[in-house]
Amino acid sequence: MSKLRIRVDQDKCQGHARCKSLAPELFELDEYGNAHEVGDGTVPAGLEDKAWLAQTNCPEIAIEVTEE
């Protein structure tokens, strides 16, 4: 399986926090509740499904998932 990397587009994120709820290992929220990817966005093995789940539930389509 190829390695996944996630990135939250800061211009698009409006703080719905769906990603944090679905994949708390992959996302963190700032003091305003807006989301960032954890670390450099590399998705640890075993969490790929959660990355896609977060991506497909973001109302603002702010999460990019790329396969490396």
Partner 1 sequence: MSDSPSASFLPEHPPVTDWVHDFDHTDPVWTDDPFPIWETLRAASPVVHTERFLGCYMPTTYQAVKEIAYDTEHFSSRRVIVRDVRPEISARAPPITSDPPEHKPAKQVLLPPFTPDAMKRLEPRVRAICNELIDEFIADGHCDAAARYTKHIPVRAIAHMLGIPEKDGDLFIKWIHQILELGIKDENEMMSGVREMTGYFMAHLEQRKLAPSDDLISQLLRAKGAGGQPLTDEHVLGSLRLLLIAGIDTTWSAIGSSLWHLARTPADRERLIAEPALIPTAIEEFLRAYSPVTMAREVMKETTISGCPVKAGNMVLLSFPAANRDPAMFPDADKVVIDRKENRHAAFGLGIHRCVGSNLARMEMQVAIEEWLKRIPDFRLDPAGKVTWSEGTVRGPRQLPVLFGKNA
Residue 15 is a binding residue for partner 1 (CB under 8 A): yes
Name, in order, each residue with C-beta under 8 angstroms of 56's C-beta and a sequence gap of 6 or more.
Answer: none
CB of 68 vs partner 1, minimal distance in Å? 24
State the first-to-last Cα distance of the chain, in angstroms, to the nearest integer. Answer: 10
CB of 5 to partner 1, least distance (A): 21
Measured CA to CA, the distance from residue 64 to residue 32 in angstroms comes to 21
Size of the site for partner 1 (CB under 8 A): 18
CA atoms within a 13 Å half-sphere pointing along the CA-CB vector of 29: 15
Residue 65 as a binder of partner 1 (CB under 8 A): the answer is no
Name the site residues for partner 1 (rule: CB under 8 A). 14-18, 20-21, 29, 31-33, 53, 56-61
